[in-house]
Amino acid sequence: MYDENIGISYHTLALKRGLRVGAHLFAAKMEYHLEMLGQKEVWITAESPIGFRRWMITWRLKLRPGIQYELGGASTWALTKEIYEQRKSDLVFGERPVPKELLETSKEIRIPDERTVLE
């Protein structure tokens, strides 16, 4: 959190491209900032063309000129509560609350073996 009204989105990292895992992780982070914490907007930056397409273009973020993102580098963009509400039905998936039996499957952390990680 930058403050009670503004969130900062740090890296969304997926280890395998093409599965849209990063997109779901990003959506979950935005849901948490805006719905759980009640923030008004989240500041985001992209460090690659892929990130720019995935977040700034897909979510239709607002450029925030003159705001230096905490991580430095690229321009700062914002996902406002209004934009989030407009894009939510297309980009945020799943049921809330999570069904109990599904939630139970997440209690045990399964660490992949080294071979799987290196593939």
Q: Considering its fold, how many domains does the chain have in total? A: 1
Q: What CATH number is given to the structural domain containing 88?
A: 3.40.630.30
pLDDT of residue 90: 93
56 found inside a domain: yes
Please give the Cα distance from 94 to 67 (Å, whole number): 33
35 found inside a domain: yes
Q: What is the pLDDT along the chain (119 residues), one digit of tens a residue?
A: 889 999 998 777 777 777 778 888 889 999 999 999 999 999 998 877 877 888 889 999 999 998 876 666 688 899 999 999 999 999 998 888 889 999 899 888 888 888 887 77
Is the pTM value of this prediction over 0.85? no
Coil/strand/helix, residue 78: strand
